[in-house]
Structure 1
Amino acid sequence: MYDVNGRRGMGLLGERAVVLGGSVAGMCAAGAVAPYFDEVVVLERDLIPDDAEHRRGVPQSKHPHFLLNAGRRAMDTLFPGYEDALIDAGGMHLMPSMAAAHCEAAGWIPRQESTMTMVYASRLLIERTLRGKLSEIANVRVIEGVNIEGIEVVHTGASTGRVTGAWVTGGDDGPQRALIEGDLVIDTLGRGSLVSDWLVKAGWPEVRVQSLDAGVTYTTQWFAKPVDLPESWWWHQLSVMPTSDTGSHPPEHDFLCQIFPIEGDRVLVTMGSWGHPMPRKDDEFRETATRLRTPVFAQIMELCEPLSKVFVTKSTGNKRRRFDELANPPANLLVLGDAICGFNPFYAQGMTSAAKSAVLLADMLRTEADAGKATLEATFPRRYFDAQRGLLDDIWVLALARDQGYENAAGTEIAPRWRRRIAARAGWPIFNLISATSREDEAVENAFTAVFNLEKPVTEMVTNPRVLFGIARFAIKRALRRNRLPIGFDAQENPPSTIYRDGRPHPGGRAHVLPRASVGSAVSG
């Protein structure tokens, strides 16, 4: 299985690329490099049957996963037809402004059509569909049940140093230790990757690590939807944002909660918070739901049938390894996904970041191949990390902006106290203001949608004069009570299904699934 003599002839940029890790980042990386190497070998620790459920290597699979626009489009670029395959497998293409009941500070927000659409599916289905598309690529081989024991390097720590393969045990060869050589090695082993430690032992300088952990904990339980939905359940997704009240209030009012739709007529019920203790048992979970800002959340849970125990995660810190700062990063080694930059999963940025990094890699490899190069130059990792830095900087700033506002935050990126106080007091009110403005101002909506979906950096939005003018204008109109749409409806009542068009209410109804992820038509009420 590991006989290097059995490899085929030279590909465009090398004989073999080795990907360490077979989760979303690893599969995207494999899809990116496949056209430019004779063979791509993906090494995965877990054994993954076709009907794989939760596994050790993806603990976040038990919780909701938003596949943002930038992420699903990146995956579709790497694996043409991925979006449609995900929909065919049970994923739902929805317009959140029409298909979601969303509770902000002032209550339930009004429904209306918008430009934002999203695909809703479990992490299990997202990965399973991606794995199916990867299996269609003839020169990609996935080896499961493999433990990565180390990396092979030559000219350690020197300017000519390079990584030439990975040492493994497991797979078909069982406990026997073997070397899988590669002309390119890609680390997608996640937050727990030891590759940077192995490089230090081999003579390279330590990679600087940035971190910020705001103590986010969230809990999720899986439910089956009732066969007959009540008339008040017109929505697919229900979300409750934290209160903007900075005075005394129940801790549950600080929670961010979701009833998240997935395939198979199921929903994931999630409650999360920054620094508060969270329920861990079924009865505690249900009891806590009764103390949220709206009674609707608990009422809906009572209609559903539990399918799982309560899952809890506290692995939510932001962590970034600065490979881009190495003066001489080892040749032939790249790092993608959580292995280089892991975000607070509450913000749904991880899969999209990994997919975008893989598209960046594919674009840079195409440039190398088009230039007629037969192998990757030793400077390629340096150039890739430089380009990847700009992509990650944008997402990193967005992730830290919220988490830096909490007194309990820890890590290297803690903000000064004065800034933390401002963020704590103004963070959610500013978000609510931008959200409300976007419902009445097309320019703000487009900018907000692009930032939310990681299609444009937040710095571009907050420095855009038109956006700033729009937000200020709306704030004045709201103060004068001249806003076109209601700011919010009573959170103690069921979310209204009324649809607003041109600022006027129309009878509402149930939200329907869009036919395809690539179609931009509106959800009808």
Structure 2
Amino acid sequence: MSQSSTNVGSESGEKFRRAVIIGGSMAGSLTAAAVAPHFEEVLVLDRDEFPQTPQQRNGVPQGAHFHALLAAGRNAMDELLPEFSTLAVKMGAAELDSTADVMRLDRAGWSPRFSSPLTFIMASRPLLEWVVRDRASAIESVSFRPRHEVAGLLSENGAVTGVRLADGTQLAADLVVDASGRRSVAPGWLDELGYPRPVETLVNAHWGYASTFVRVPQDWDPGFRALACVPYGEGALTTAAERRAMAMWVVEGERRWILTVQGSAGDYPPRKEADLKEFVGSIGVPELDQALSEIEYPERILIWRDTTNRMRDYAGSAERPENFFTIGDAWTAFNPVYGQGMTVAALSARALSHEIAAHLRERPGTLRGLADRFYDRTSELVTFCWNSSTALDYRIPGVEVTVDGRPQDQSESAGSLEFSDRLAVWASLDKDRYVKYRETTQLLRSNDWLRSDDVVDEIKDRWEELGALLTPR
């Protein structure tokens, strides 16, 4: 059975008939909001069932682990979905000062602590996803269709014209966007239509997670609302501090926090409570040991090991169909330990909102060329986050890198992160500079200022001094 769609976009302001978004998670909901002004109907299809309250669902297995929504991602969500932040906070999300409330231990030592105007939201992934989907559902033209599994694409005259569902139903559409996340099988769909698969690069430093929601004591004041300890990641990873990490922070309500423990290079954290405490204790940070000794573990500990960075180079493909593109993890999935995924999805959706409006002003009545325009606009952001994520993983001995399944020599890719280490130390020595640095890591500010001649020259001039301040554990 086929359900038709007719392209009626025109200079008169008429809308296209239908857009289909594959995947109803963060990227899919935000994409629906981005394109909604230009379509009579936006269908968000997902093979999973959506919960009626904020809770873990099967379609987002990584949802039980810690998630960081960077400040830039929050701003983009507020632009696409007005009142996103207001509702999230009302539902229990915590608003944190990124310098005063956060204790961070990395190669530069403990981060400086002082009050700043740079704030961001902390919440569980189920709550954030529920709020985003709630706000997107409030848009008149947007509807979510659970238990709708897409099995392939329809095409005609060099353009995607709809989707084929697993039950055989065909849905016509003027635009199809794959936002189905890490599970995306879009390369196979393109192959079925006679288009080349995108080049696929994988970077795997063999990270693993063990996470649980914990209960902290009444009026608990450990001196922070978020604590993160990253692995030193140097040499042969012979000590726990070099290969293990953890993070814990408040999520919904003052007594419900999330604890995520991480290990790299195949040193995976355990599932049992006693073993997990011993795993964290081996890092050798008294602040961690004290905090973990005071909390309760009312929920089970869950494991997650799908942490490979994966980029499918759709933007660089020589040939691809019109009226179809990918977004979020379906395009580039980052190692989640670096907390970039949700924010990149939000920024990409906001860019799509701007680009589709500009495209239709210049070329009313057609969506041909929009995919090229979207990839051109967002490739720089995606590539920047990819480079920062993989550069840190290259530091981990035993990291595996493949391009279309072929192993790659890492002698050049791994390079030296000595400059980046000193840059972090340099930034931490001045409050104003440190806020700018955190604005950069929160993707609110371009990193161009960090590459300026003045900054580079100063770091080179102070090379030995800054190097001496690096803090091995």
Fold conserved between structures, TM > 0.5:
yes
Deviation at 1:382?
Answer: 2.3
1:398 alignment counterpart: 388
1:465 aligned residue: 453
Q: What secondary structure, in the 3-state scheme, does the structure 2 residue paired with 1:364 have?
A: helix
Q: Residue by residue, what CA displacement relative to the aligned partner does 1:94-125 show, whole Å, maximum 9, x if unpaired?
A: 11221123334575444223453221111111
2:366 — aligned with what? Answer: 375
The DSSP-based 3-state class of the residue aligned with 1:280 is coil
Task: Provide Cα deviations, 1:374-395, integer angstroms capped at 9, x if missing partner.
Answer: 231x222223223222221111
One-letter amino acid of the structure 1 residue matched with residue 165 of structure 2? V
Alignment partner for residue 270 of structure 1, among 224, 242, 260? 260
Contact 1:8 1:15 in 2 (8 A): yes
| Matches of 2:235 and 2:383, distance apart in 1 | 30
**Paired residues of 2:204 and 2:399 also in contact (CA < 8 A):** yes
Give distance in 2, aligned partners of 1:248 and 1:382.
43
Corresponding residue number in structure 2 for 1:340: 331
Residue type of the alignment partner of 1:292: I
- 1:78 aligned onto 2:67: no
Aligned pair partner of 1:255 in 244, 253, 265: 244
In structure 1, C-alpha distance between the alignment counterparts of 2:292 and 2:151, rounded to whole Å: 45
Assess if the C-alpha contact under 8 Å between 2:48 and 2:58 holds in 1.
yes
| Aligned counterpart for 2:38 among listed residues 36, 39, 50 | 36
Conserved 8 A contact 2:213-2:298 = yes
1:326-363 C-alpha deviation (Å, 9 max, x unpaired): 23320110210111111110111111111111111111
Q: CA deviation at 1:234?
A: 2.4
| Deviation of the 1:260 alpha carbon | 1.8
- Measure the CA separation in 1 of the matches of 2:107 and 2:366: 56
User: Is structure 2 residue 188 aligned with structure 1 residue 191?
Assistant: no
Deviates more, 1:53-62 or 1:448-457: 448-457
Q: Which has the larger radius of gyration?
A: 1
Inter-partner Cα distance in structure 1 for 2:242 and 2:401: 26
Letter in 1 for 2:239: P
Residue equivalent to 1:200:
191
The 2-side partners of 1:46 and 1:59 are apart by 12
Q: In the aligned structure 2, how far is the partner of 1:20 from the partner of 1:206?
A: 19
- 1:165 corresponds, among 162, 166, 182, to 162
> Structure 1 counterpart of 2:451, which letter?
T
Structure 1 467/200 Cα, relative in aligned 2: closer, same or farther at 3 Å?
Answer: same
Alignment of 1:89-104 (within 5 A): 89-104=91-106
1:352 is matched with: 343
Q: Is contact 2:233-2:242 (8 Å) kept?
A: no
Structure 1 residue 18: deviation in Å?
0.4
Is the contact between residue 196 and residue 320 of structure 2 (CA under 8 Å) also seen in structure 1? no
| Alpha-carbon displacement from aligned partner over 1:438-470 (angstroms, at most 9, x marks no partner) | 233356435422331123454x25421233245
Instruction: Specify which of 212, 215, 231 is matched with residue 242 of structure 1.
Output: 231
Contact 1:8/1:38 (<8 A) preserved: no
> How far apart, in 2, do the equivalents of 1:44 and 1:327 lie?
29
Per-residue deviation, residues 271-321 of structure 1 (Å, max 9, x unmatched): 212212321222211221222221332332222121322211111111111
Between the aligned partners of 1:272 and 1:461, the Cα distance in structure 2 is 32
Following TM superposition, by how much is the alpha carbon of 1:136 offset from its aligned partner in structure 2, in angstroms?
Answer: 1.3
CA distance in 2 between partners of 1:8 and 1:241 (Å): 51
Report the Cα offset of residue 402 of structure 1.
Answer: 0.7
Gaps of 5+ in 2: none
CA RMSD of aligned residues (A): 2.9
Which of 377, 380, 384 matches 2:374? 384
Aligned residues: 465
Superposition pairs for residues 84-483 of structure 1, below 5 Å?
Answer: 84-105=86-107, 108-154=110-156, 160-169=157-166, 176-229=167-220, 233-243=222-232, 246=235, 250-264=239-253, 265-275=255-265, 276-371=267-362, 373-376=364-367, 378-412=368-402, 416-419=409-412, 422-423=415-416, 427=417, 433-441=422-430, 444-456=433-445, 458=447, 460-472=448-460
The Cα shift of 1:44 comes to 1.3
Q: How far off its partner does 1:12 sit? A: 3.8
Q: Which consecutive unaligned segments of at least 5 residues does structure 1 have?
A: 155-159, 170-175, 482-486, 492-525
Is 29-38 or 109-118 further displaced after alignment? 109-118
Is 1:65 the counterpart of 2:67? The answer is yes
Deviation of the 1:74 alpha carbon: 1.0
Check 1:192–1:104 CA distance in 2 against 1; reply closer, same or farther (3 A cut): closer
**1:135-169 Cα distance to aligned partner (Å, 9 max, x none):** 21001011111111111122xxxxx4111111124
Q: In 2, Cα distance between the equivalents of 1:380 and 1:106?
A: 43
Amino acid at match of 1:271: V
Task: Give the superposition deviation at 1:49.
Answer: 2.2
Aligned to 1:97, the other structure's residue is in SS state: coil
Superposition TM-score, scaled by structure 2 size: 0.89
> Cα deviations across residues 156-205 of structure 1 (Å, max 9, x unaligned)?
xxxx4111111124xxxxxx431111100000111221122111122112
The answer to whether the 8 Å contact 1:99/1:237 transfers is yes
Deviating more after overlay: 8-17 vs 61-70: 8-17
Contact 1:395/1:457 (<8 A) preserved? no
Report if aligned partners of 1:394, 1:457 keep a CA contact under 8 Å in 2.
no
1:323 Cα deviation after fit: 1.3
* Contact 2:7–2:16 (8 Å) recurs in 1: no
| Counterpart-to-counterpart distance in 1, 2:31 and 2:180 | 12
Per-residue deviation, 1:223:
0.2
Contact residue 356 and residue 370 of structure 2 kept, 8 A = no
What TM-score, normalized to structure 1?
0.81
